Structure 1
C-alpha cells in the first residue's frame, strides 16, 4: 500500500469531523504523471456537483482530505445561495503548482473526472491556470471555465463579486460604499486577489498588500502605489477593511483578537477555522461577509456562460452579490445571528425545498 493510501486510511475517513453528509470521496493517483488527488462530492440535490480543482503542496494527505471535504460543502452552499441548479464538489491535487504541475498531470486528472460520468464538474481554483483547465478539457467534457464552455477564466468574475461585496459591507458599516481613502489590507495576490486589489485601487482605496510570492507583491506595490506587509501580519494591519484572498482557516482564535479592521470581506474559501470564530467576530463588532456568498462570481460565470455568449447576464448576476449580502446583513442583524449563520440558513432552506419537490 502506498503512502497516500496508508495515511488516508489511518485518518478514519468515515469518522472525519468534516465528513458530514458527503456522498462520494474518490482518491486517485497516476504514477506516470505524479498525480495524487482527492475528489469530494458533497451534495447533488440541486444538480451535478460543481467545484474547482485546487493544486497545493499539502504537508500530509490528511490535510488535503480536510480541505477537500470543507471546500466541497462550501460549494454546495455557494451554489444554493447563488440560485444555481448545481450541487457542490471539490478536487485537490497534492503538488506544488510552480514546481510539480504539468499538462500531463492535468490531463490525467481530467481522465479521472471523466470516470465520474458527470457527477462532478471541475473548474479552476488556487494553483490552477486557464491553460491547466484546457488540458483537463482534452480528457473530459465535465469541465467549465474554458474557452469552449463559455467565458474562459472565471477569476475576473470572482474578483468583481468580491469587490461588489466589499462595497455592500462598507455601506452597511460606514453608511456609504465610497471607498475613497479607505485603507484596505489585501492578503493573497493570485488571479483573484490581484484583480480585487485593482478594483479597490481604481475606487480610490489605500492598499496594503501581501503574498507568499514576492514578485506578485512587487507588481502590486508598483501598479497600485501599495504598501507591502508580511502575509502573516496582514490581518492585523491598521486598516478599515481586511480582504483575505489566500487559503482558508485564517480567521481563528489567534488572529481574530488581532484584527483592527471593522470589516472582513475577501475571496478565500472557508475563512472561519471553526463556527465559534464567526461569533467571535460578531462580539468584536467586526462585520464578516460569508465567503461562499461574496466569492460566488466565478461559479456564476462558469454555470451561466455558454459558448459564444457575451457576459452581460453573468456580470449582472455577479454584481447582484452586493444585494445578496445586504439582505444577509440586514436579516442577520434583525434575527440576532451572525451573517454566516443566516447565509447557511438560506442555503439549507433551498436544499430542503428541493428534497421535498
Structure 2
C-alpha cells in the first residue's frame, strides 16, 4: 500500500502532528511541528522502541517544543520540530525504512527539516535524503552533528563552572557522565583533556571499557549514579533523570549535559535551586548539533557555526547572572527569554 499519512490531534500550541506508516518498509513514525514562527521547523529523528503510542507521542511533542526553545536561544532563524521512528534501531532499521521516512518528511514540503538523533546515523539520513531535500546532517555537508553538540556542552560547562566554583579550571574536578554515545564520549574526551576526573556510566560495556582504558575513567553502574560523590553531573543519555528522588541524593553543584528533557517535571528546577545546585537548561547547552545542521540548511560555514557556539555560551552567562540577580531558577529565566523572542517575532510578522 505504500506510505500512509494520518494527521493526529496536535496538543494546544502545536502546529501539526503526523503519523507516517509504510508496512512494507517497516516504518511507523511520528513527525511533530511545534512552531514555525521563527522559520521552518528543524529537529532530529530519534528511533526508539517505545512501550506504547502514548509514550511515543509524549516524547515527540516534548522534544519538538524543546527544539523551538533550543533554536530560538541559539539564534538560528528556525522553528522547532521533531520526529520519532518506533522500533529497535539495532534490529529493525533498514535502508528501505529510512527511505520511506524520507518520503514522509517530503510531504511536509519544507515546513520541517530532519537530521540525526538517538539511533540514527549520517548514513541513515543519507537514505532518507534520497527521497527528500529536507534531510540534513549529511556526510560531505555539515556531517555528524554530535561533535558540535559536545563542543557546545563543554563550552557551557566551563561557563557554569566559573559561576559555581569561581573559575573554569577543570583539573581535578570530578565529573560524572551518564551515557557514552557519540556526544557523551566526545564530551568525555574533552573533559579528560581539560584534566577532569571522570566517572562514567552506560548500558554498553564496550563504551565503558573504552572510557576506562583511554580516558582513565572510573566506572559506576547506572543504578549507582546518585551514590557517587562528584562536582559536576553531565546527563548525556535519555531524559527524565532529574526527579524528586534523584535530586535529593545528587551531590553535584552543577548540572550540564547533552540529554534532552533532563527534568522529569518543571518543578524540579526549583528543587535543584533550593539545594544550591546550578542547572544549565539542556535546550540551551546542547544546541551545538542543531547549530551544525542549521549551517547546512542556511548554507553557512564553520565560522558561522563557531560564532553561534560562542553565542550560546554567552547566553548561559547572561542567564546565570539574571537568575542570581532576580532570585529565579535558570529555567524560568531561559524560558522567559525564548517567549520574548517568539512574541517579538509574531508581532513583527
Measured against the shorter chain, the TM-score band is: over 0.9
User: How far 1:20 sits from its partner (Å)?
Assistant: 3.3
Query: Which string of whole-angstrom CA distances, capped at 9 and with x for unpartnered residues, describes residues 68-89 of structure 1?
Result: 0100000001111111111100
CA distance in 1 between partners of 2:126 and 2:211 (Å): 28
After TM superposition, give the deviation of residue 49 of structure 1 in Å.
0.5
- Of the structure 1 ranges 184-193 and 227-236, higher mean CA displacement relative to structure 2 is found in 227-236
Check 1:194–1:49 CA distance in 2 against 1; reply closer, same or farther (3 A cut): same
- State the Cα distance separating 1:164 from its structure 2 match: 0.5
Mapped pair 1:252 → 2:243: yes
RMSD over aligned Cα atoms = 1.8
Report the counterpart of residue 136 of structure 1 in structure 2.
128
2:202 is aligned with 1:211: yes
Tell me if the contact between 1:267 and 1:295 (Cα under 8 Å) persists in the aligned partners.
yes
1:220-254 CA-to-partner distances (Å, cap 9, x unmatched) read 11110101111233244211000000001111112
Residues 192 and 215, structure 2, Cα contact 8 Å, conserved in 1: yes
State the alpha-carbon separation in 2 of the partners of residues 226 and 316 from structure 1: 32
- Give the alignment partner of residue 162 of structure 2, picking from 168, 171, 180: 171
What is the alpha-carbon distance in structure 2 between the residues aligned to residue 59 and residue 218 of structure 1? Answer: 30
Contact 2:243–2:263 (8 Å) recurs in 1: yes
Q: Which residue of 2 aligns with 1:238?
A: 229
**In the TM superposition, what is the alpha-carbon distance from 1:214 to its structure 2 partner?**
1.6
TM-score (norm 1): 0.92
1:39–1:90 contact (8 Å) kept in structure 2: yes
TM-score where L is the length of structure 2: 0.95
Between 90-99 and 311-320, report the one with greater CA deviation. Answer: 311-320
Is the 1:78–1:292 Cα contact (8 Å) retained in structure 2? Answer: yes
**Separation in structure 2 between the aligned mates of residue 111 and residue 228 of structure 1, nearest angstrom:** 42
User: 1:306, CA displacement in angstroms?
Assistant: 6.9
Query: Where do 1:1-357 residues align within 5 Å?
Result: 19-147=11-139, 150-305=141-296, 310-357=301-348
Q: How many residues align?
A: 343
Distance (whole Å) between structure 2 residues aligned to residue 250 and residue 221 of structure 1:
23
